Structure 1
C-alpha cells in the first residue's frame, strides 16, 4: 500500500481520530478520511485544531509529525514514540558519552561519513561547475574536503574535530555561492531565520529530516538529547543533529536541484527579516519531498548511493553507530 506525507496548512482545520482513521475537517465544511496505515509522516502548520488522541495514535504507530510555525517565526515541535525499548543500547550510549576516547572516535566515525558524502557530492557537481566555468572552484572545494578528511583521521582532540567539520562546511557552501545564479541571493548559510530561497529550502528540508531522524533514534531506544558532536543543550535533540550530519550533503544537493529545476523566484516571499515558500508553492514542495524520501539513496551525496528511502538511510547510520559502539566496548 502506498503511503503519503500528510500536510495540514490551512488555518482553522480540525483533525480528529475516528477508529483506525484520521479525519481532516476543513473550515469550508469539507472533510477527508485517511487510514493511519497510509500515513508515512505528517506536517502541521500552526492554527490547526488537533484532537489529543491523534497525537497518541501517531506516537503509538511511530508516525513522525512536525509542527511548523505558520509565518516562519518560533520553534518547531515534534511528536514521536517514547523511550520505551532497548535499554541496553542506551546504557552503551551513556558509556560512550562519558569516555573521552570513545566519544572522540564516535565523532570521527560520524564526521568521516559526512566528509565521504561531501566528496561524492562534489563529484556530482563537477559537470554543472564545468558548464559555468567553475572547474577550478570544484577542484579547490574537493582539495579542501580531502585535506579536512586527512586532518580528521589524525586528530586527537574533540574541539579540533568540530573545527575541521566547520571548515569543511564553509568550503562546500562557498562553492554553492558561486554555483547558484546570483538571483537567488545566496551568500552564506543562515539558519534562523533564513534570508534567501536556498537557505529557506535548506532549513525546511533539514527540519523534516530532523523529525524522521528523531523518530528513528527513539525507536531504537537511544537518548536523543545526549550528543556525540553537538553539545548537550536544553531544548535540543543533539543526537538527532549528529545523525543528520552524513545526510547534510544530500540535503544541500536536493535544495540545489529544487531551485534549478522546480522553483522560480516568485515562489518565495522575501522580506527584510525572512524568506519563506509561498503557500501555493508548498504543495509542489511536499509532492516532491514525499517522492524523494522514497528514493533518498539515489541523491548525489549519499555515499554509497543505494535505492533506499530516507528512513532506511537514517536507520543505517544509527545501526552503524550502535555497531561501532558495541565493537569498541567489546575490545576493552
Structure 2
C-alpha cells in the first residue's frame, strides 16, 4: 500500500473506472489507480468531487487535508470498524487509572528503548560525536527505573519530559550546525530541523488516527494522554513510541542531502519547508511510509491485545455470575 501526495495549485481530481484522474487547465495530466492507495494527502487549491471521496472511503483510503501555511491536518476517515464493543470497552478503560498508567509506562518504555538503540548505533558509526552521545545515553538509561517507579500519570509525564530533554541534547550533536538546532521547539518551529520534525509528527499522527478508527478505536479517547478538546489523544498515545522512527527519518533526509537549509524559509511566523522541499519530502515519505505503517500496525495490534484481554476477563466474570445459583 502507498500514499498519494497532491500539492499543486489548481489541479482537479476526478474518478474514472477505479482510478484518480488529474486535470490541469482542462487537460489530463496523469492517472493513479485507487487500489494500491492507503492514504491521500491534499494541500493547496485542489478540487475533487464527492463521488471520489466516497470511493476512497469505500476502499478504506483515509484522506488528510493539510491547510494553511503550516499544513494543519483535517481528517476524512474511511469506513469504520463494525465492532462497537471495542470502542465501548476503550471508553470504560479510559476511566481505569491503573490500566491507563500501565499503558503509559509501556509506551514510554518502548519510546526510550528505541531512543537508546538509535543513539547506540549512531555512537558506533560517528566517532566525532561519541562523547555527546555517550553522555546522553547514560542519562537516558538512568530514566529506566524511574518509569517503573512512577505512581501516577503526572509523575510519568515528568519522567518522560526529563528524558526528552536529555534525548534532544544528544540529538543536537548529530544535526548539522548549519541548521541551528538547539533542542525541540514548536508552534511554530524556529529552525529547519524542528520544522521537519513537526511536519513528520503531524503526518504520522494523522496516519495513526486513521488506522485507529479503522481498527475500531475512538482516536480521541486516550489512556496516557487524557481527554482534551480537539485532540486525538489515543493517536498521541501511540505516537510516543514511534517518534524515534520519525526522528531517524528526518535526520536521514538531512544527512543524505535530500533536504538542505535552502529548502526552508524563516519568518516571524516560524520556519517552514518550501514548495520545492515539500516535493522532495513527500517523495521520501512515500518511500519510507511502509516502515512507519508497520510500526503503527504493531502498536495497534499490541493495544488491541491489551483491550481484548480485559474484555475477555470481564466476560468470564459475567458468565461466572450467571452460573451462580442462590439457594438461600
Could you state the TM-score of these two structures normalised by the residue count of structure 1?
0.88
The CA distance in 2 between the partners of 1:28 and 1:144, in whole Å, is: 59
Question: 2:101·2:153 contact (CA, 8 Å) conserved in 1?
Answer: yes
Residue 216 of structure 1 is matched in structure 2 by: 211
Of 228, 242, 251, the match for 1:247: 242
Distance 1:168 1:71, change over 3 A: same
User: 1:327 Cα deviation (Å)?
Assistant: 3.3
Residue 124 of structure 2 is matched in structure 1 by: 127
The CA distance in 1 between the partners of 2:70 and 2:305, in whole Å, is: 38
Measured against aligned partners, the alpha-carbon deviations of 1:119-159 in whole angstroms (never above 9, x if no partner) come to 111112213552x2x32321221122222221111222111
Question: 1:129·1:138 contact (CA, 8 Å) conserved in 2?
Answer: no
User: Where in structure 1 are there 5+ consecutive unaligned residues?
Assistant: 297-309
More divergent stretch after superposition (270-279 vs 26-35): 26-35
Structure ID, larger Rg: 2
Of 278, 281, 297, the match for 2:277: 281
User: 1:330 Cα deviation (Å)?
Assistant: 5.3
Of 105, 115, 120, the match for 1:118: 115
Of 93, 96, 100, the match for 1:96: 93
Of 9, 12, 19, the match for 1:11: 9
Question: 1:110·1:245 contact (CA, 8 Å) conserved in 2?
Answer: yes
User: Where in structure 2 are there 5+ consecutive unaligned residues?
Assistant: 315-328
1:269 aligns with 2:265: yes
Partner secondary structure for residue 37 of structure 1: coil
The CA distance in 2 between the partners of 1:126 and 1:252, in whole Å, is: 16
Of 107, 110, 119, the match for 2:104: 107
User: 1:331 Cα deviation (Å)?
Assistant: 5.9
1:62 aligns with 2:60: yes
Question: 1:269·1:276 contact (CA, 8 Å) conserved in 2?
Answer: yes
The CA distance in 1 between the partners of 2:100 and 2:43, in whole Å, is: 37
Distance 1:83 1:4, change over 3 A: closer
Residue 86 of structure 1 is matched in structure 2 by: 83
Q: How many residues are matched? A: 313
Question: 2:133·2:170 contact (CA, 8 Å) conserved in 1?
Answer: yes
Of 182, 185, 188, the match for 1:190: 185
CA RMSD of aligned residues (A): 2.0
User: 1:164 Cα deviation (Å)?
Assistant: 1.0
User: 1:217 Cα deviation (Å)?
Assistant: 0.3
The CA distance in 1 between the partners of 2:79 and 2:11, in whole Å, is: 27
